[in-house]
Structure 1
Amino acid sequence: MCGIVGYLGKHDTKAILLDGLKELEYRGYDSAGIAVLQAEEFSYFKAVGKLANLEAKTADFTTSGFAAGIGHTRWATHGKPTEINAHPHLGDASYVVHNGIIENYQELKNALISEGAHFLSQTDTEVIVHLFESLLNGGLKPFDAFRETVSRLKGAYAILLVTKQMPETIFFAKHGSPMIVGVNESDEKFFGSSDAALIGKCHRVIYLEDGQLGFVSRTGIHLEDAHAAAVVPHFASLPESKLSAQKEGFRFFMEKEIYEQSEVLSDTLIGRLAEDAILFDELNPSLLEGINEIKLCACGTSYHAALASSYLFERLGKIRTSVEIASELRYKEPLLCTDTLFVVISQSGETADTLETLKMAKAAGLKTLVVCNVDNSSMVREADAAILTRAGIEKGVASTKAFATQMAVLWMFSLYVAQTKDTIDAETLRKQIGLLREVPAVVRVHDDLHERIRRLSKRYLHGHGFFFIGRDIFFPLALEGALKLKEISYLHAEGYPSGEMKHGPIALADPELFTIALMPKNLLYDKTKSNVEELSARDATICAISDVPFEKADDFIPIAAHDHYMLEFFETMVVLQLLSMEIAIRLGNDVDMPRNLAKSVTVE
Structure 2
Amino acid sequence: MCGIIGYVGAGVTRGAGEDADEETGGDRLAVGDVIHQGLRNLEYRGYDSAGVALVGETSGLTVAKRSGEVDGLTVPEVPDAAHGIGHTRWSTHGPPTDANAHPHTDCVGDVAVVHNGIVENHETLKAELSDHAFTSDTDTEVIPHLLEEELSGETEASAADDGGDAESDLLAAVQRVEDRLEGSYAICAVREGDDRIVVARRGSPLVLGRGEDASFVASDVTAFLEHTRDVTYLEDGDVAAIAPGSVDIFADGEPVEREIETVTWEANAAEKGGYDHYMRKEIHEQPEALRQTLAGRLDVDAGDVDLDVSFPPGFLADLEEIRIVACGTSYYAGRYAARLFEEYAGVRTTVEIASEYEFGAGRTPDRTLVVAVTQSGETADTLGAVRRANAAGARTFAVTNTLGSTVTREVDGTAFIRAGPEIGVAATKTFASQVATLAMLSVAVGRDRGALAAADARTVLEDLRGLPGAVQQVLDEEAAVREAAREYRDSEAFFFVGRALGVPVALEGALKLKEISYDHAEGFAAGELKHGPLALVTPDTPVLAVLTEGGRARETMNNVTEAQTRGAPALGCVTAGSEFDTLDVAFEVPDVGVVEPLVANVYLQLFAYHVANEKGRPIDKPRNLAKSVTVE
Query: CA separation in 2, counterparts of 1:279 and 1:549?
Result: 35
8 Å Cα contact 2:546/2:553 also seen in 1? no
Number of the residue aligned with 1:248: 273
* TM, length-normalised to structure 1: 0.60
Contact 1:182-1:206 within 8 A present in 2 as well: no
User: Are 1:499 and 1:531, in contact at CA under 8 Å, matched by a contact in 2?
Assistant: yes
Alpha-carbon distance between aligned partners in 1 of 2:348 and 2:487, rounded to the nearest angstrom: 43
Q: Deviations for 1:540-595, whole angstroms, at most 9, x for unmatched residues?
A: 121122132423222222333x262x242132011111111111111111221111
Q: CA deviation at 1:414?
A: 0.6
- The match for 2:541 is 513
Alignment of 1:325-344 (within 5 A): 325-329=353-357, 337-344=365-372
Q: Does the C-alpha gap of structure 1 residues 424 and 236 become closer, same or farther in structure 2, counting only changes over 3 Å?
A: closer
CA distance in 1, matches of 2:362, 2:494: 34
Worse-matched range after superposition: 325-334 or 484-493 = 325-334
Q: Which amino acid aligns with 1:272?
A: R
Superposed counterparts of 1:328-477, under 5 Å: 328-329=356-357, 337-445=365-473, 449-477=477-505
Deviations 1:264-286 (A, max 9, x none): 11111111111223333521242
The answer to whether structure 1 residue 259 and structure 2 residue 284 are counterparts is yes
Counterpart check, 1:269 vs 2:294: yes
Mapped partners of 1:397, 1:334: distance in 2: 38
Structure 2 counterpart of 1:574, one-letter code: V
1:127 aligned partner: none
Q: Residues 292 and 473 (structure 1 numbering): CA distance in 2 closer, same or farther, change over 3 Å?
A: same
CA shift digits 1:499-538 (9 cap, x unpaired): 1110111111110111111111564222111111111111
Specify the code of the residue in structure 2 equivalent to 1:484.
K
Partner residue in 2 for 1:492: 520
Deviations 1:46-80 (A, max 9, x none): xxxxxxxxxxxxxxxxxxxxxxxxxxxxxxxxxxx
- SS of the aligned residue for 1:513 comes to coil
Residue 278 of structure 1 is matched in structure 2 by 304
* Preserved CA contact (<8 Å) 1:291 1:340: yes
Aligned to 2:10: none
Residue 204 (structure 1) aligned with residue 112 (structure 2): no
How far does residue 247 in structure 1 lie from its aligned partner after superposition? 2.0
Letter in 1 for 2:303: A
Deviation at 1:11, TM superposition (A): 6.5
- After TM superposition, list the pairs within 5 Å mapping 1:9-20 onto structure 2: none
Determine if the alignment matches structure 1 residue 480 to structure 2 residue 508: yes
Residue 288 of structure 1 and its aligned partner are, at CA, apart by: 2.7
Per the alignment, residue 63 of structure 1 pairs with: none
Instruction: Tell me the CA shift for residue 460 of structure 1.
Output: 1.7
CA distance in 1 between counterparts of 2:449 and 2:359 reads: 33
Q: Residue 553 of structure 1: which of 580, 583, 588 is its match?
A: 583
Instruction: For 2:70 and 2:278, locate their aligned partners in 1 and report how far apart those are by CA, in whole Å.
Output: 27
Deviates more, 1:299-308 or 1:594-603: 594-603
Kept in 2: contact 1:517–1:545 (CA 8 A): yes
Task: Indicate conservation of the 8 Å contact 2:376/2:628, yes or no.
Answer: yes
- Deviation digits for residues 218-262 of structure 1 (CA, Å, limit 9, x no counterpart): xxxxxxxxxxxxxxxxx999x999957942222221111111111
1:425-466 superposed Cα distances (whole Å, 9 cap, x missing partner): 121111112111111111114565101111111122222211
CA offsets, 1:406-441, max 9 Å, x none? 000011111111100001112111111211111111
Partner-residue secondary structure (3-state), 1:591: coil
**Measured at CA, do residues 236 and 357 of structure 1 come closer, stay the same or move farther in structure 2, by a change above 3 Å?**
farther
Cα offsets for 1:53-108 (capped at 9, x unmatched): xxxxxxxxxxxxxxxxxxxxxxxxxxxxxxxxxxxxxxxxxxxxxxxxxxxxxxxx
Residues 43 and 70, structure 2, Cα contact 8 Å, conserved in 1 = no
Contact 2:551 2:597 (8 Å CA) reproduced: no
Residue type matched to 2:305 in 1? L
SS at match of 1:316: helix
Name the SS of the counterpart of 1:444 in structure 2: helix
Counterpart CA distance in 2 for 1:429 and 1:435 is: 10
Partners of 1:598 and 1:22 in 2: how far apart? 22
State the distance in 2 between where 1:271 and 1:365 align: 33
User: 1:322-377: per-residue Cα shift (whole Å, max 9, x none)?
Assistant: 11100111598996733110100011100010011111111211111100001001
Q: Is the 8 A contact 1:180 1:205 kept in 2?
A: no
Contact 1:184 1:203 in 2 (8 A): no
Q: Decide which moves more: 301-310 or 589-598.
A: 589-598
Equivalent-residue separation in structure 2 for 1:267 and 1:413 (angstroms): 16
* Pair 443,181 (structure 1): closer, same or farther in 2 beyond 3 Å: closer
Comparing 243-252 and 473-482, the one that deviates more: 243-252
Conserved 8 A contact 1:367-1:384: yes
State the identity as a percent.
37
3-state SS of 1:348 partner: coil
Is the 8 Å Cα contact of residues 468 and 479 (structure 1) preserved in structure 2?
yes
Paired AA for residue 572 in structure 2 = A
Deviation of residue 185 (structure 1)?
Answer: 5.3
SS in 1 for 2:570: strand
C-alpha distance in structure 2 between counterparts of 1:422 and 1:356, whole Å: 33
Could you say if the C-alpha distance between residues 574 and 243 of structure 1 is closer, same or farther in structure 2, counting changes exceeding 3 Å? same
CA distance in 1, matches of 2:368, 2:394: 6
Q: Does 1:600 align with 2:628?
A: yes
Q: For 1:443, what is the secondary structure of its paired residue?
A: helix
Deviates most, 276-285 or 301-310: 276-285
- CA separation of 1:527/1:537 partners in 2, compared to 1, >3 Å: closer, same or farther? same
Shift in Å, 1:476: 0.5
- Which deviates more from structure 2 when the two are superposed, residues 490-499 or residues 588-597? 588-597
Whole-angstrom CA distance in 2 between matches of 1:480 and 1:512: 21
Kept after mapping to 1: 8 A contact 2:303/2:455: no
Cα separation, partners in 2 of 1:269 and 1:23, compared to 1, 3 Å: closer
Structure 2 residue 348 is the aligned partner of structure 1 residue 320: yes
- Name the SS of the counterpart of 2:272 in structure 1: coil
Q: TM-score, normalised by structure 2?
A: 0.58
Q: Within 5 A, what are the aligned runs for 1:136-285? A: 184=73, 204=98, 246-274=271-299, 275-285=301-311
Q: Which runs of 5+ in 1 are unaligned?
A: 1-9, 25-178, 188-193, 197-201, 208-234
Q: Which amino acid aligns with 2:277?
A: F
Question: Against the structure 1 CA distance between its residues 540 and 387, is the aligned structure 2 distance closer, same or farther, given a 3 Å change threshold?
Answer: same
2:602 is equivalent to residue 577 of structure 1: no
Match of 1:543?
571
Q: Distance in 2 between matches of 1:310 and 1:578?
A: 26
**Using the alignment, how far apart are the partners of 1:322 and 1:589 within structure 2?**
36
CA contact (8 A) 1:183 1:204 kept: no
Q: Closer, same or farther in 2 for the Cα pair 1:492/1:600, shift >3 Å? A: same
> What is residue 555 of structure 2 aligned with on the other side?
527
Whether contact under 8 Å (1:293, 1:319) holds in the other structure is yes
Structure 1 position 492, deviation (Å): 0.6
